[in-house]
Amino acid sequence: MTNTENDTRAEDALTPENVAAEADATTPTAGENDELAKLAEQLAALQQDLLYARAETQNVRRRGEKEVADAHAYAATKFARDILSVADNLGRALAALSDEQRADEGIKPLITGLEATERELLSVFERNGITRIAAIGLPLDPNQHQAMLEIPSDQTPGTIVQEMQAGYMMKDRLLRPAMVAVAKAAG
């Protein structure tokens, strides 16, 4: 083909009739516009559903990871609660000893053994994140203390004046509340 033939074909392609016919062929009809709008709405809805599904999957994964971490951190909670009574009884036994019993050379090795056992038990508690809740002289905290009775006192009402049973925390969770007596206004 020569340059003049190419020019003639290019001119034929750019006639107003050819341009109008080509435009009519690419312009969507009203029915096609409605269908395109519906498809666009469906696409937007599916994209939104996909985003929600991804977010929900991520939330489920995070919740699962948190539950596993909590299970590892607090697996010994029931055992720790059970062993607290052993610690209480050991403390009571040592507190019940009189000065003359402590001075008796016959039972001194027994007392030394009991004290060593108590120290070791408290050391095990500490290594496992079990701590005793402070009580005496502090204001009553219902999240850590359980008021058993009120005692007339000259201290500020609501202040803990006596601890009947020690309370314990395991990391940031309450194992057992401290059972306490609270000051009330005298008179």
pLDDT per position as a tens digit, 64-123: 999 888 888 777 888 888 899 999 999 999 999 999 988 889 988 999 999 999 999 999
CA distances from residue 175 to 54, 74, 88, 133 in whole angstroms, order as listed: 37, 10, 14, 10
Confidence of residue 9 (pLDDT cuts 50, 70, 90): low
The percentage of residues in the chain with a pLDDT greater than 70, rounded to a whole number, is: 84
Q: What's the maximum distance between 2 C-alpha atoms anywhere in the chain?
A: 131
Cβ–Cβ < 8 Å for 44, 50: no
* Burial of residue 145, with CB atoms counted within 10 A of its CB: 0-12 exposed, 13-18 middle, 19 or more buried: buried
| Residue 47: predicted pLDDT | 94
SS3 24: helix
Domain ranges for the chain: 3-71, 74-185
Strand order in the sheet with 130-132: 130-132, 168-170, 173-176
State the angle between helix axes of 108-127 and 77-95 in degrees (0 to 180), rounded to the nearest 10. 150
Looking at domain 74-185, its CATH class is mainly beta
- Report CA torsion sign: 7, 8, 13, 15: positive
% residues pLDDT > 90 (the chain): 49
